[in-house]
């Protein structure tokens, strides 16, 4: 790469081609990105085609997609906007939602998509922006946490999932009862401490509940692999929103859910794709 004499217009040179302008390089990057994205779509379509699960293993509230045909799911994936879109001021990439397929680790965009889907599915639910945990400065944590306006007074429950070190853990704040439920798919005390500390130092302030919450750890689900932590966080949050509590967990939870991880991934993928139509497409 070299800089032209008087302009910040970077060039690249190939012996058998010559120089390429910055604009040409940007076009090449766009083409490569598009080809890579298309390959991810094909991988997702192949995964859907091969997916099998037992309907009897699915429990409420996750049964809403059991009768949806594979052709319908395939069409939804084909219509997914793979590019940039905005949720408020938060930039999302539609292609990242394809992380729900197979056994992939969910990245932030997929987690945010799942959380926003839950907000739209259940009443009076707010979302703390998961990315607040990435910052060190307290004021920046607070600003980021407020990104999806979780302090709306109409919200009765506020949820989020945070990255505690290449691993996702979750929490739900029940505002009327002033209780906070903490969940780590690995059931490690060290991860629970991280989540609790963030709720104490950031979330309580955002919600105006400083020193008012009681904390309870949810131990009724443990991940059985090294890559589905994000999925189980979303599953557990949905069960809590559906009405489950630690004292009544066995009335809602079934170990058969471990057998339908593929279906659960497909369900969240589809519901997030359906939600994308409400996002603002980036210019």
Q: What is the CATH number of the domain that holds 169?
A: 3.40.395.10
Residues 35 and 112 placed together within one structural domain of the fold: no
Residues 64 and 28 placed together within one structural domain of the fold: no
Are the C-beta atoms of 129 and 148 separated by less than 8 Å? yes
Residues 243 and 182 placed together within one structural domain of the fold: yes
pTM: 0.89
Residues 25 and 133 placed together within one structural domain of the fold: no
pLDDT one digit per residue (tens) for the chain, 283 residues? 444 455 555 567 677 777 777 777 777 766 766 777 788 999 999 999 999 999 999 999 999 999 999 999 999 999 998 887 776 667 778 889 999 999 999 999 899 999 999 999 999 999 999 999 999 999 999 999 999 999 999 999 999 999 999 999 999 999 999 999 999 999 999 999 999 999 999 999 999 999 999 999 999 999 999 999 999 999 999 999 999 999 999 999 999 999 999 999 999 999 999 988 766 555 5
Residues 73 and 27 placed together within one structural domain of the fold: no
Residues 167 and 274 placed together within one structural domain of the fold: yes
Residues 69 and 181 placed together within one structural domain of the fold: yes
Residues 273 and 231 placed together within one structural domain of the fold: yes
Residues 198 and 120 placed together within one structural domain of the fold: yes
Residues 167 and 27 placed together within one structural domain of the fold: no
Residues 161 and 261 placed together within one structural domain of the fold: yes
Residues pairing with 125 in the sheet: 157
Number of domains in the chain: 2
**E-only strand ranges, the chain:** 2-3, 10-14, 18-20, 84-87, 90-93, 125-127, 157-163, 168-174, 179-183, 214-217, 280-281
Are the C-beta atoms of 105 and 230 separated by less than 8 Å? yes
Residues 80 and 13 placed together within one structural domain of the fold: no
Domain holding 1, by residue range, is 1-48
């Amino acid at each position: 790469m070299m800089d032209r004499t008087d302009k910040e217009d970077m060039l690249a040179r190939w012996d058998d081609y010559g120089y390429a302008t910055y604009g040409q390089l940007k076009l090449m990057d766009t083409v490569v990105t598009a080809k890579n994205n298309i390959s991810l779509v094909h991988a997702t379509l192949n995964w859907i085609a091969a997916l099998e699960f037992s309907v009897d293993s699915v429990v409420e509230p996750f049964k809403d997609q059991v009768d949806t045909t594979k052709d319908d799911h395939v069409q939804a994936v084909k219509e997914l906007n793979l590019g940039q879109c905005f949720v408020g001021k938060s930039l999302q990439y539609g292609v990242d939602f394809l992380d729900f397929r197979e056994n992939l680790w969910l990245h932030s965009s997929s987690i945010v998509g799942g959380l926003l889907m839950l907000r739209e599915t259940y009443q009076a639910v707010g979302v703390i922006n998961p990315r607040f945990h990435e910052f060190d400065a307290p004021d920046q944590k607070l600003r980021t946490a407020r990104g999806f306006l979780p302090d709306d007074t109409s919200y009765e429950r506020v949820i989020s999932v945070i990255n505690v070190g290449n691993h996702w853990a979750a929490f739900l704040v029940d505002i009327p009862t002033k209780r906070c439920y903490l969940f780590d798919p690995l059931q490690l005390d060290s991860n629970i401490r991280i989540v609790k500390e963030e709720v104490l130092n950031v979330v309580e302030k955002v919600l105006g509940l400083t020193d008012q919450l009681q904390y309870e750890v949810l131990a009724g689900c443990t991940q059985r692999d090294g890559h589905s932590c994000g999925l189980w966080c979303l599953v557990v949050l949905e069960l809590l929103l559906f009405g489950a509590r630690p004292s009544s967990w066995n009335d809602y939870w079934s170990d058969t859910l471990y057998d339908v991880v593929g279906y659960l991934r497909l369900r969240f993928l589809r519901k997030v794709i359906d939600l994308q139509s409400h996002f603002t497409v980036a210019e």
